Amino acid sequence: MGGESKVYTLAEVAEHNTSKDCWLVIGGKVYDVTKFLEDHPGGDEVLLSATGKDATDDFEDVGHSSTARAMMDEFLVGNINSATIPAKVTYTPPKQPHYNQDKTPQFIIKVLQFLVPLLILGLAVIVRIYTKSA
């Protein structure tokens, strides 16, 4: 835990991205998880894929136990210079045509397409009957 005062840049941490030398950034701290790779319950690929970036969200999303969190202390090598971590890019979905979920206007149009001809037909029948009797 003596290395805790060392501050690394993300570029420095990103260089440690192999199964022989694997460092992660979690919660503003840098961890050398190389010795833990083969013991990690989720497999070493999960850890290796989290190198070179801030893996805090990946770590939190899995929901690690308090035991797992306590184990992290033995792998701590320092802190990350947060200025070297790129700002989170929020995903903006591409613009799509407005999707009308309730389909109300289409429903009304379909009803009118059915009722208007029916109304015209009914009116024609009434006019025919009325003019026949006159």
The pTM of the whole model exceeds 0.75: no
Give domain status of residue 12, yes or no: yes
Q: How far apart are CA 54 and CA 23, in angstroms?
A: 11
Provide the pLDDT for residue 110: 82
Give the length of the chain: 134
Helix (H), strand (E) at residue 61: helix 56-62
Residues 79 and 32 placed together within one structural domain of the fold: yes
Question: Do 10 and 73 share a domain, yes or no?
Answer: yes
Q: How far apart are alpha carbons 112 and 120 in whole angstroms?
A: 12
- Contact call for residues 38 and 30 (beta carbons, < 8 A): no
| Domain count for the chain | 2
The reply to whether 34 and 80 lie within a common domain is yes
Domain that holds residue 128: 101-134
The answer to whether residue 27 sits within a structural domain is yes
* Parallel, antiparallel or unpaired: strands 21-26 and 17-18: antiparallel
**What's the CA gap between 71 and 73, in Å, rounded?**
5
CATH of the domain at 9: 3.10.120.10
Reading the chain (134 residues) residue by residue, the pLDDT tens digits are 444 579 999 999 999 999 999 999 999 999 999 999 999 988 999 999 999 999 999 999 888 889 989 999 999 999 999 888 887 766 776 776 666 566 667 778 788 888 888 999 999 999 988 887 76
Please give the pLDDT value at position 1. 46
Question: 31-63: per-residue pLDDT in tens?
Answer: 999 999 999 988 999 999 999 999 999 999 888
- What's the burial of 50, exposed, middle or buried (CB within 10 Å: 0-12/13-18/19+)? buried
Instruction: State whether 78 and 33 are in the same domain.
Output: yes
Q: Is residue 95 part of a domain?
A: no
Rounded to the nearest angstrom, the gap between the alpha carbon of residue 8 and the centroid of all alpha carbons in its chain is 28
62 lies in the same domain as 24: yes
Same domain, 78 and 116: no
